[in-house]
Chains A and B, each alone.
Chain A
Amino acid sequence: MIVASDIDRRDFLGLVGGGIVILFGLNPSAPSTAAERPGYPSDFHAYLAIGANGRVTVFSGKIEMGQGVTTSLAQMAAEELGVDLASIDMVLGDTDKCPWDMGTFGSMSTRFFGPALRAAAAKARAVVTTLAAAKLGVPADRLSIENGMASVAGEPTRRVSFAELSDGVRIAEMVTQAAVLRSTADFTVMGRSPKRLDGIEKVTGSAKYAADIRLPGMFYARLLRPPLHGAVLTQADTSAAEKLPGVLVIKRDDLVAVLHADPEAAASARAQIHADWRQPEATLNQDTIFEHLLAHAGAPTQVAAKGNLATASAAKPFETVFQKGYVAHAPIEPHAAVADVRSDGATVWASTQTPFPTRDGIAAALGFDPKLVRVITPFVGGGFGGKSAGGQAVEAARLSQICGKPVQVERTRAEEFFYDTFDPAAVVKISSALDQDGRISRWDYQVFAAGERGATTFYDIPNLRILSAGGMSYGDAPPVKDLHPFAVGPWRAPGANMNVFATESQIDIMAAAAGVDPVAFRLKHLGDIRMRGVLQAAADAFGWRPAAGPSGRGHGIALSSDAGSFVATMAEVKVDKASGKVTVVRMVCAQDMGIIVNPEGARMQIEGGLTMGLGYALTEEVRFQGGEVLDQNFDSYHLPRFSAVPRIEVVLVRNNELAPQGCGEPAITTAGAVIANAVFDATGARMLRLPMTPKRVAAAIAMADR
């Protein structure tokens, strides 16, 4: 057995205790410098332990925000290790117990963490097999491992449990090479749909979220907030608030807060603060933003290029500009945190997708060594990328440090809208053409502000260029400072929703102009066998009957390749031509995501993504005046409600040749385009801006009818 040698790891294993421990690394989540992971070993990002009681615990910095990884990751571990799902415990997002991890986003938990976890579990199985062979005095190849038990083949009474094998041993191994994973044909835990492991807690109200943490003597904080982004506090008069009973007012630089043992009393005292702000001039709004983005997005970078645009046939040219507004994450759980800061360390419960970066931010704000800060992530009530960022944990920690008591900061809904890192408004310009034979001959694509995810095309086009300006991809900071009047950030499949809307609309425009059925037109330009497979599967399930658009039936199609998965979505809509109101009647989505870990879990993610996508497609757009966010609650910012959700049918396309791919994000990327294309098919009106509000649809219909 290899015993860990470096000092960090030995310290770490001291904390873990005895039993069988398998450490594993995870390249895509690896931090770029050692400084980002103080106190943690450099070569692994998660581990799996078999305790003396035979229970298996997986420790990971990933978090559960509804996407179901508590269950699907446990399934992977149980499958490869040969134990019941019920004997797996998941410890997620606790910075004291779990090794460093960048965070939970980008549909990466299954794609990248999954294989590493499976390899670790397979390694644990090998360790257990070796120990059992010695204990039972038989060669390892005579053993079978099942349900946490190693038994001699053909002699079921000669057996030893994982608990007996791990009791009293101290074994630590590192996964250093690719493991032999179980074949899909042998799966007994993966590929099935056990009930979610978080079910009982969530239906009984016992599931704890950050704002549910209660500590003795805890204060609820309400903070002074600027009226708009960019405003500078010039004066705050807190004297009236200070006179109220039980109120503690804290003023430190930019931090002005009212603390009280009752959250409502804190809020009403906060309302007694009279503040003056120096306010910047507000010019931009949700209608003028697009010109601003085009003017200030900066020099583009080339994402892809092929052939020669200058010499490509342009027999039938098409020039289109697409736009999309800012979209809020709007999880029903606002950002919240409870901090208990003492002189010798801090514990913070936070609603976050990034416990480790959050810990480091808290440590910096407190002047603490990160080793002294523990971030615990309870259940997260929806994230969608929006909880990758958030200052509420730092605010709670600063306030707790100042007042010496535990402090809760829970954002109000208005604060949640104000501080949200919106999905950026964006513009896409496409100049494309068909040649004499009706094939796409050129594709000149430029995206502004959305980023490059989803911008490259899977269609066979001989001459193309893809440019991206002013965008952030995969959570990077925007390259152009102050391009947006407020914060923007990753939003479920960042950038891809805009890019797929534009691309798939343009393809539809060309298919209609060529007088060709949009499915047939796509197939004519598709070589990728996985994409052809999902398109066919969706067409079969939908009952697609070929017709050139607009057919009047209101049928639409959109394709996407995202996070390693391929998606084809079809939709049927009804459009009230007078009011412009779009009703989505039905959606069918076929997805190829490689091996499917949990079919019901996958369906939930796809249905959930398409449902959420109805919002950015039809109703959701942040209204603003300069840095002032005008939408402050759900009365004016409209999430999809029950009555807006169509029947959604999901077809999981079998592909056991490929490791599991992303599932939480790919389907949502088709929502804008599939509805826009269906609206065109219903009315002949082409929607170029998201969301497709009734007013915009009615205007487009009036234009098309002229």
Chain B
Amino acid sequence: MKSIVQFNLNGRPVSLDTDDDRMLLWVLRTDLALTGTKYGCGEGICGACTVVVNGEARRSCLTPLKQVAGAELLTIEGLARDGHLHPLQQAFIDHGAFQCGYCTSAMLLDAYVLLRDDPRPSRDKIISHMDRNLCRCGAHQRIVDAIEHVSGKPGDPR
């Protein structure tokens, strides 16, 4: 249904006049030109389209726009603040936790949600949390290493 949908995106208010049944992934990528959120499978299986809605990881390919009305939305473009990388971003670089980079946005955001809810997860918990995200290049153990490196570190309560 056509309507005006308002939400906070990466800390800034956004207002869209569009069909609110559209999936968030395509609204982000087309209307808002935020292409860091990726299409991978379209059915919520691979996780490449993950964004953070009110502190929860959501599959944007299966999230109708109307579900984010009034919400706080974080995409990969908002993870670094004031020109400073988030510690997870730095850890991904330091640990070589990506190759092609296509799944990286989603990996970072799902890890961000994990650490927000549990700042000191066990390695097993990191693995089981991240299990819903696919990486084809095989950066898995480095992604876990990077998250483990950041977990329990002081700072960045966002």
A533 within 8 A of B: no
CB–CB B41/A604 < 8 A: no
**Do B134 and A264 have beta carbons less than 8 Å apart?**
no
CB distance from A388 to the nearest CB of B (A): 15
- Are A634 and B103 interface neighbours, CB within 8 A? no
Stretch from A85-93, A203-211, A419-427, A459-467 at the B interface: A203-211
| A634-B130 Cα distance, complex, nearest whole Å | 16
* CB pair A202 B98 closer than 8 Å: yes
- Expressed in whole angstroms, the minimum distance between the Cβ of B112 and any Cβ of chain A is 12
Contacting pair B41 A413 (CB below 8 A): yes
Q: Pick the residue among B90, B99, B142 that contacts A66 (CB under 8 A).
A: B99
Decide if A333 touches B139 in the complex (CB within 8 Å): no
Residue on B nearest A649 in the bound complex, by CB: B141
A15 interface residue, CB < 8 Å from B? no
Q: A410 within 8 Å of B by Cβ?
A: yes
Of A165-173, A374-382, A391-399, the one touching chain B: A374-382
Tell me whether A400 is interfacial, beta carbon within 8 Å: no
- The answer to the question of A191 belonging to the interface, with a C-beta cut-off of 8 Å to chain B, is no
With contacts A331-B100, A608-B137 taken as known, whether A413 is within 8 angstroms of B42 at the C-beta atoms is: yes
Which of B43-51, B52-60, B149-157 lies at the binding interface?
B43-51
Do B41 and A203 have beta carbons less than 8 Å apart?
A: no
Within 8 A of B (CB), among A666-690: none
Is A657 part of the binding interface, using a Cβ–Cβ cutoff of 8 Å?
no
A633 within 8 A of B: yes
Whether B96 sits at the interface, judged by CB under 8 Å, is yes
**The residue from A67, A204, A331, A600 contacting B77, defined by CB atoms under 8 A apart:** A204
Q: In the assembled complex, which residues on chain A have CB atoms less than 8 Å from the CB atom of B26?
A: 262-264
In the assembled complex, the CB of B90 is this many whole angstroms from the nearest CB of chain A, namely 8
B14 touches A (CB below 8 Å): no
Q: Number of B residues whose C-beta is below 8 Å from A?
A: 57
Q: Which residues of A contact B102 (CB under 8 A)?
A: 209, 331-333, 379, 381-382
Residues of A within 8 Å of B34, CB to CB, are: 205
A334 at the interface (CB under 8 A from B): yes
Q: Report the Cα distance A333→B134, complex, angstroms.
A: 11
Given the interface pairs A66-B101, A198-B101, A331-B102, the reply to whether A204 lies near B85 with Cβ below 8 Å is yes
Query: Of residues 227 to 265 in A, which have CB atoms within 8 Å of B's CB atoms?
Result: 261-264
* CB of A352, distance to nearest CB on chain B (Å): 14
0/1 string, B1-39, CB within 8 A of A gives 1: 000000000000000000000110010011001111111
- Measured in the bound complex, the distance between the Cα atoms of B90 and A141 in whole Å is 43
Rounded to whole Å, the gap between the CB of B45 and the closest CB of chain A is 4
Identify A608's interface contact among B36, B108, B132, B139, CB under 8 A.
B139
Chain B contacts for A648, CB-based, 8 A: 141
A10 beta carbon closer than 8 Å to chain B: no
Would B101 and A612 count as touching, CB distance under 8 A?
Answer: no
Contacts of A204 in B (CB 8 A): 36, 76-77, 79-80, 85, 89
B140 A413 Cβ-Cβ under 8 A: no
Task: Give B85 Cβ to nearest chain A Cβ, in Å.
Answer: 7
Residues 624-667 of chain A: 1 if any B CB is under 8 Å from the residue's CB, otherwise 0? 00000000011100011111010110000000000000000000
- Measured CB to CB, the nearest residue on chain B to A213 is B35
Take A65-B100, A198-B101, A264-B22 as given contacts and tell me if A203 and B48 are in contact as well, using a CB distance cutoff of 8 Å.
no
Question: Which residues does chain A contribute within 8 Å of B128, judged by CB atoms?
Answer: 642-643
Report chain A residues within 8 Å CB of B36: 204-206
Nearest to A643 among chain B residues (CB) is B131
How many chain A residues sit at the interface, stated as a range, is 35 or more
A203 touches B104 (CB 8 A): yes
A214 to B28, CA, bound (A): 13
Taking A264-B22, A607-B142 as contacts, is the C-beta distance between A413 and B43 under 8 angstroms? yes
Q: Is B40 an interface residue (CB 8 A)?
A: yes
The reply to whether B141 and A612 contact each other, CB–CB distance below 8 Å, is no
**Do the beta carbons of B22 and A205 come within 8 Å of each other?**
no
Main secondary structure on chain B at its contact with chain A?
A: loop
Any chain B CB within 8 A of the CB of A199?
yes
- Asked if B117 CB lies within 8 Å of chain A CBs, one says no
Does B69 sit at the interface, judged by CB under 8 A? no
Of the candidates A204, A264, A332, A379, the one having the most CB atoms from chain B within 10 angstroms of its own CB is A332
**Can you name the residue of chain B whose Cβ is closest to the Cβ of A641?**
B131
Given A205-B37, A208-B35, check contact A331 B136 (CB 8 Å): yes
The smallest C-beta distance from A82 to any residue of chain B, in angstroms, reads 26
* Contact of B45 (CB < 8 Å), options: A206, A383, A611, A633: A633
Q: Which of A66, A199, A212 makes the CB contact (< 8 A) with B100? A: A66
Asked if A604 and B134 sit within 8 Å, CB to CB, the answer is: no
The smallest C-beta distance from B38 to any residue of chain A, in angstroms, reads 7
Establish whether residues B96 and A196, one from each chain, have CB atoms under 8 Å apart when the complex forms. yes
Smallest Cβ distance from A285 to chain B, in angstroms? 24
Task: Please measure, in the bound complex, the distance between the C-alpha atom of A600 and the C-alpha atom of B97, giving whole angstroms.
Answer: 11
Nearest A-chain residue to B46, judged by Cβ: A634
The answer to whether A381 and B140 have CB atoms under 8 Å apart is no
Asked if B113 CB lies within 8 Å of chain A CBs, one says no
Is A563 engaged at the interface, CB distance under 8 Å to the other chain? no
Smallest Cβ-Cβ distance to A605: which chain B residue = B99
Q: Is B94 an interface residue (CB 8 A)?
A: yes
Instruction: Specify the chain B residue showing the minimal Cβ separation from A379.
Output: B101
Residue of A205, A263, A383, A635 near B76 (CB, 8 A) is: A205
Measured between alpha carbons, how far is A333 from B45 in the docked complex, in Å? 14
Q: A205-B77, A604-B96, A643-B127 are in contact. Are A214 and B33 (CB under 8 A)?
A: yes
A639 to B136, Cβ gap below 8 A? yes
- A384 engages B93 (CB within 8 Å): no
Chain A hits for B79, CB < 8 A: 204-205
Least Cβ–Cβ distance between B117 and chain A, in angstroms: 18
A56 at interface (Cβ–Cβ under 8 A)? no
Determine if B68 is an interface residue (Cβ-Cβ < 8 Å): no
Kindly supply a per-residue 1/0 record for chain A positions 28-66, scoring 1 wherever the CB is within 8 Å of any chain B CB and 0 otherwise: 000000000000000000000000000000000000011
Report the Cα distance A200→B85, complex, angstroms. 9
Minimum CB distance partner of B23 in chain A = A264
Q: How far is the CA of A603 from the CA of B94 in the complex (A)?
A: 14
A332 contact from B29, B43, B48, B77, Cβ within 8 A: B48
Q: Check if B85 sits within 8 Å of A604, measured CB to CB.
A: no
B114-158 vs A, CB cutoff 8 Å, 1 = contact: the mask equals 000000000000011011111111111111100000000000000
Contacts of B92 in A (CB 8 A): 199, 203
Which residue of chain A is the closest to B97 with respect to CB atoms?
A: A203
5 A–B contacts, CB within 8 A, in A order: A203-B104, A261-B30, A382-B99, A633-B45, A641-B132
Question: Which residues of A are in contact with B by a Cβ distance under 8 Å?
Answer: 65-68, 195-196, 198-209, 211-212, 214, 220, 261-264, 330-334, 379-384, 410, 412-413, 600-601, 603-604, 607-612, 633-635, 639-643, 645, 647-648
9 closest Cβ pairs, A-B complex: A205-B36, A66-B100, A611-B138, A381-B102, A608-B138, A202-B101, A66-B99, A205-B76, A212-B35
* 4 additional contacts (CB under 8 A) given A212-B35, A332-B102, A381-B38: A205-B105, A209-B35, A331-B100, A611-B140
